[in-house]
Amino acid sequence: MSEFKCQYCNKDTGDVDFDYLVGYDHLSCALEVEGKAKVNEVEACVLCGKDTPYVKGTHIDFRNHYIEGAGQLCQSCYNRGTSREHLAIPTYLITDTPNDQELGAKIRKFYYDNRD
């Protein structure tokens, strides 16, 4: 009986190359267990660190305030934009307002409602 067994699948790891092991465990088994553990963790805002309403297992197509290449933002940071000189305007505000004068008023109201 071999002393080299994967604790996750109980299979012999004596003949597995060292590069595919984590201790005596298969790398694939260890990564699978680690991945399942992180799927239910709450996603934090990448700017302020506050918890968001999403878990890490939620696909980005089903999230709000997610920026590809940057990560998940909370609503406050997303609305604030990347700096105090910039403001991220929701698309619906622009597409649902055909009149430029009304759009300007809505953007100004959005600015005052979302500043610190």
For CA atoms 73, 78, 80, 82, give the dihedral sign: positive
Task: Using alpha carbons only, give the angle 53, 74, 58 rounded to the nearest 5 degrees.
Answer: 40
Q: Are residues 103 and 72 part of one domain?
A: yes
Q: Are residues 76 and 100 part of one domain?
A: yes
Instruction: With CA atoms as reference, report the closest residue to 6 among 22, 17, 18, 19.
Output: 22
Q: Are residues 48 and 21 part of one domain?
A: no
Task: Using alpha carbons only, give the angle 41, 43, 47 rounded to the nearest 5 degrees.
Answer: 150
| pLDDT reported for residue 111 | 84
Provide the whole-model pTM: 0.43
Domain extent for 98: 42-114
Q: Are residues 49 and 35 part of one domain?
A: no
pLDDT cut 90: percent of the chain above it: 14
Q: Are residues 56 and 84 part of one domain?
A: yes
Q: Are residues 98 and 65 part of one domain?
A: yes
| pLDDT reported for residue 90 | 85
Contact 97, 103 (CB under 8 A): yes
